[in-house]
Amino acid sequence: MKKRIGLNVMMVVALMWILVGCGQGNADSGNNAAPSASPAGTEASSNKEDKTEKAVEIKFMHVFGGTQGEAIKEMVDRYNASQNKVIVKAEQTQGFYDGLLEKLQTLAVSKQLPEVAIGSYANGEFMSTRMPIRPMHTFINKEGYSTEDYTAQMLKLGQDADGKQQSLPFLVSTPLIYVNLDHFEKAGIPVVEQPESWEQVRGWAKQLAAVAPDRGGVYFQMDFDTWMFQTLLESKGGSYASVKDKDVQFNDETGKEVLRYWLDMMQKDKSIPMMNGTQAAEAFQSGDLSMLVATTGNLANLSKNSSFKLGIMLLPTWEGEQTPRRLPAGGAGLYVFQGSEEKEAAAWDFVKYATSPESSSLLAQKMGYMTVRNSAREELMADYLKENPKAAATYKQAQDIVPWFNWPGDAGTRATRTLLDHIQGSFSGDMTGDEALDKAAAEIKKVLGW
């Protein structure tokens, strides 16, 4: 924290008269301080000068760089400018969500944890049971803070099995199908809001790849997590596991059919190229990939950097299946770590601001994620969503959002990695899809002690 240089009494009095004459006061630090309340300029500068030695400094760790990181910085800067009691220092961690989780575990050992951090919904179980967090329900209950404006399905993403709020939703995404409309037009494929089935998507991908053999038909975001596997598995009526019964289930016939679906597209249709997610995004933007099934969080970047007419489609269901579509929520919640009463209070104040309708609206528009507040979607973002139908698309499938499956215990992240590695092994031809899932299931049982 910066210490103020000593001022003599006359200078202090003069400064007070200047502030009164200019109408400058401290910005309200209430729960719903609007991000637009303190634009860059005189007020922000005044608040910075008004920070006293009693201001509490806290650290906020996240994973975003580039344009998304700039949006996070803008939100933090607005918070710091809006009040004079707390100073938030934002820090980006490399390695995305897994890298952040590893760093938090290391910092926990050395007792150097930040006051606030984001946490992937895929790691919610680990964060709430294995990390020294202060559950959000403690702040909510103590203050009588209303959570009614948070979207109900998103609020559940941060709740434990007993319905207690461990984190608050910060960024939420669903998968979308990004399409190159120029490629669709040349291939004679009609553009629809939602494909009839995953089988139809396969047919399109094969047709698109046939038009240009050196171009990929489709890529599913699945090189660093098992998000898409859960999406297709549960939408087909399958399940990862029964934690209660300690029974791994993803390797039953339903799971094997999902993996065969991808493998057939790779090996028979030659429509899914062998590449990682970063390469796929670059290929899509450059016109070397026709469809990309990926997070809503990519929308802002793809809209800005794609050199063709971009289209958006909702995810389909499976042909002939009676089971409804299931969309595990991507994104991250906000966690507060245990500390002094003063630090925790400062962290809670920042969390309320970061998830306020104004901040949530700002981040949704600039990052491409969904807002977590009903009022932001219905009021603050109403015109934006009307003018940007691509951004509005994800909300049409929001009713199908379900929690990301979390393996229990300390070995949860290892279990996820085991499944992902075996799926990747089948893609590279090291084993068949059936072998991959059976081997992964056997290893995960050992890891979890099932």
Q: List, for residues 97-120, the tens digit of each pLDDT value.
A: 999 999 999 999 999 999 999 999
pLDDT of 5: 39
Q: What DSSP letter does each residue of 347-375 carry, written as one string?
A: HHHHHHHHTSHHHHHHHHHHH--B-SBHH
* 77 contacts: CB under 8 Å, gap ≥ 6: 44
The residue-averaged pLDDT of 244-258 equals: 97
The residue-averaged pLDDT of 265-279 equals: 95
Would you say residue 257 lies in a domain? Answer: yes
pLDDT of 33: 39
Judge if 179 and 268 occupy the same domain.
yes
The residue-averaged pLDDT of 389-411 equals: 93
Helices 253-267/412-427 angle, 10° precision = 40
Q: Please provide residue 323's backbone torsions phi and psi, each rounded to the nearest 5 degrees.
A: -75, 145
Judge if 264 and 353 occupy the same domain.
no
8 Å CB contact between 101 and 412: no
List the domain range (segments joined by +) for residue 186: 175-328+407-448
At 3, which amino acid appears?
K
Judge if 265 and 344 occupy the same domain.
no
Q: List, for residues 178-231, the tens digit of each pLDDT value.
A: 999 999 999 999 999 999 999 999 999 999 999 998 999 999 998 778 999 999
Judge if 314 and 338 occupy the same domain.
no
Our measurement of the distance from residue 428's CA atom to the centroid of its chain's CA atoms, rounded to an integer in Å, reads: 28
Would you say residue 124 lies in a domain? Answer: yes
Judge if 322 and 210 occupy the same domain.
yes
77-81, 197-201, 405-409: lowest mean pLDDT where?
A: 405-409
Would you say residue 239 lies in a domain? Answer: yes
What mean pLDDT value characterizes the chain? 89
Would you say residue 37 lies in a domain? Answer: no
409 falls in which pLDDT band (50, 70, 90)? Answer: confident
Judge if 395 and 413 occupy the same domain.
no
8 Å CB contact between 125 and 344: no
Which of left, alpha, beta for 111 (phi over 0: left; psi -120 to 50: alpha)? left
Q: What DSSP letter does each residue of 234-293 carry, written as one string?
A: HHTT--SEETTTTEE-TTSHHHHHHHHHHHHHHHTS--S-S--HHHHHHHHHTTSEEEEE
Share of the chain above pLDDT 90, in %: 82
8 Å CB contact between 233 and 239: yes
CATH number, domain of 426, equals: 3.40.190.10
Would you say residue 58 lies in a domain? Answer: yes
pLDDT of 320: 82
pLDDT beyond 60 at 40: no
8 Å CB contact between 115 and 76: no
pLDDT of 51: 56
Instruction: For residue 78, give both structure tokens.
Output: 């607005």
Instruction: Supply the pTM of this predicted model.
Output: 0.85
* 252 contacts: CB under 8 Å, gap ≥ 6: 238
Would you say residue 26 lies in a domain? Answer: no
Judge if 195 and 250 occupy the same domain.
yes
pLDDT of 307: 86
* 32 contacts: CB under 8 Å, gap ≥ 6: 352, 356, 357, 358
The residue-averaged pLDDT of 335-343 equals: 99
Q: Which one has a higher pLDDT value, 443 or 3?
A: 443
321 falls in which pLDDT band (50, 70, 90)? Answer: confident
Would you say residue 36 lies in a domain? Answer: no
pLDDT beyond 70 at 52: no
Q: What is the C-alpha separation between 75 and 33, in angstroms, rounded? A: 11
Would you say residue 34 lies in a domain? Answer: no
Judge if 284 and 294 occupy the same domain.
yes
Judge if 229 and 323 occupy the same domain.
yes
Judge if 162 and 310 occupy the same domain.
no
Judge if 224 and 127 occupy the same domain.
no
Number of domains into which the chain is organized: 2
- Cα within 13 Å of Cα(290), Cβ side: 29
Judge if 275 and 348 occupy the same domain.
no
Share of the chain above pLDDT 70, in %: 88
